[in-house]
């Protein structure tokens, strides 16, 4: 693909200096992922914890380690800033990076409210820089393959989706920032529900929701149960668990189509971890994992296993990000789509609080 695909101000460059902000569990993933692209050089790391920062800097041979991320934003030689911080810091730090003229990869969720998320979209557009939210579930082979099948019309008109990420015991360390509303904004819905929601809307090709009915629960974490092992953040057992560990939502799209979302960190269920989506079309249905099609054939009703491919984009979201800057790919996750997802997340919590359906303007 030619450079004309990419309107970003640095699209003519052939290599990019990257700074990562945050060296927690997801920050380590950012660091390792950027290392996979030959045109990406991770030259700096910002981390408030001296121990986490030094461990990460040594492991990935990063030449500069600071505790104040603004020092890195002032460096003219840094092209890309990748943000892996607690949710409540996403919007503020990303806005600073965008204002500094940096291309920004931001981990999900985009923000803790749509108002702040909208500011990020506007600033990225104003600065003509690449801004992407790391919705990594879009990049899986199942999603990429199913997206191609839908584009070819194999499912016909896809009118409903059921999407879920549910865990039996997966609360990210009770007492960490994940389990406190003032730092996380929300619980399982923000942490893993956002992935299930984003990929379903992406597959259906529609993000314009008009109404949401949602319900949240906190049945396990509030009793000190259901803890998983994810994360490296500090734990304070005295801090209250005041986020959701399960949620449900019915989302009505402007076209009249619907999405049923289910998420849980902790619940009594057969599988330890289920992360999948089912689509209902006029010509066929689909479900993953594993990827299967359900449809009528001349020989009767059939369930077909579908081999998966990764022919759309590189499965590593950081590699894809750099490919976009090089003009080799078009952004697979667009800011307007991530903003629409944020509006739905807001509506789920508002509906659960009010007990009523919430309309989205």
24-77 per-position pLDDT tens digit: 999 999 999 999 999 999 999 999 999 999 999 999 999 999 999 999 999 999
Assess whether pLDDT exceeds 70 at residue 8: no
Mean pLDDT across the stretch 6-21?
78
Total residues found in the chain within this entry? 361
Averaged pLDDT score across all residues of the chain:
94
Percent of the chain with pLDDT over 70: 97
Find how far residue 210's CA is from the centre of its chain.
21
Assess whether pLDDT exceeds 90 at residue 9: no
Mean pLDDT across the stretch 87-99?
98
pLDDT band at residue 231 using 50, 70 and 90 as cut-offs: confident
- Environment class of 60 (CB within 10 Å of its CB; exposed 0-12, middle 13-18, buried 19+): middle
pTM, full prediction:
0.94
Assess whether pLDDT exceeds 60 at residue 286: yes
Assess whether pLDDT exceeds 70 at residue 334: yes
pLDDT band at residue 79 using 50, 70 and 90 as cut-offs: very high
Q: What is the DSSP letter of 9?
A: T
Helix (H) / strand (E) containing 131: strand 131-133
Assess whether pLDDT exceeds 50 at residue 3: no
Amino acid 2: pLDDT: 37
């Amino acid at each position: 693909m030619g450079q004309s695909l990419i309107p970003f101000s640095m699209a003519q460059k052939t290599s990019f200096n990257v700074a990562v902000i945050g060296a927690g569990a997801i920050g380590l993933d950012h660091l390792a992922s950027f290392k996979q692209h030959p045109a990406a050089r991770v030259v700096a790391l910002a981390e408030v914890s001296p121990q986490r920062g030094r461990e990460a800097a040594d492991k990935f041979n990063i030449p500069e380690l600071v505790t104040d991320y603004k020092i890195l934003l002032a460096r003219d030689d840094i092209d890309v800033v990748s943000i892996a911080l607690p949710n409540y810091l996403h919007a503020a730090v990303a806005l600073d990076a965008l204002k500094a003229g940096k291309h920004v990869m931001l981990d999900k969720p985009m923000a803790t409210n749509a108002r702040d998320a909208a500011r990020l979209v506007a600033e990225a557009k104003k600065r003509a820089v690449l801004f992407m939210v790391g919705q990594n579930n879009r990049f899986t082979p199942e999603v990429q393959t199913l997206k191609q099948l839908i584009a070819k019309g194999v499912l016909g008109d896809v009118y409903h989706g059921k999407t879920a990420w549910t865990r039996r015991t997966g609360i990210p360390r009770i007492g960490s920032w994940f389990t406190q509303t003032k730092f996380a904004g929300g619980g399982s819905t923000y942490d893993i529900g956002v992935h299930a929601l984003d990929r379903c809307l992406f597959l259906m090709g529609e993000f314009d929701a008009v109404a949401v009915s949602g319900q949240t629960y906190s049945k396990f974490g509030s009793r000190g149960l259901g803890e998983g092992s994810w994360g490296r953040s500090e734990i304070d057992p005295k801090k209250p668990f005041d986020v959701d560990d399960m949620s449900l939502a019915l989302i009505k799209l402007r076209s009249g189509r619907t999405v049923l979302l289910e998420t849980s960190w902790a619940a009594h269920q057969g599988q330890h971890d289920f992360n999948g989506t089912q689509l209902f079309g006029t010509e066929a249905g689909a479900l993953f994992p594993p990827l299967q099609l359900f449809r009528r054939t001349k020989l009767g009703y059939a369930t077909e296993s579908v081999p998966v491919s990764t022919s759309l984009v590189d499965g590593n979201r950081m590699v894809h990000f750099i490919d976009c800057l090089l003009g080799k790919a078009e952004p697979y996750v667009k800011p307007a789509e991530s903003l629409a997802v944020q509006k739905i997340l807001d509506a789920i919590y508002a509906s659960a609080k009010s007990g009523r359906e919430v309309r989205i303007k």
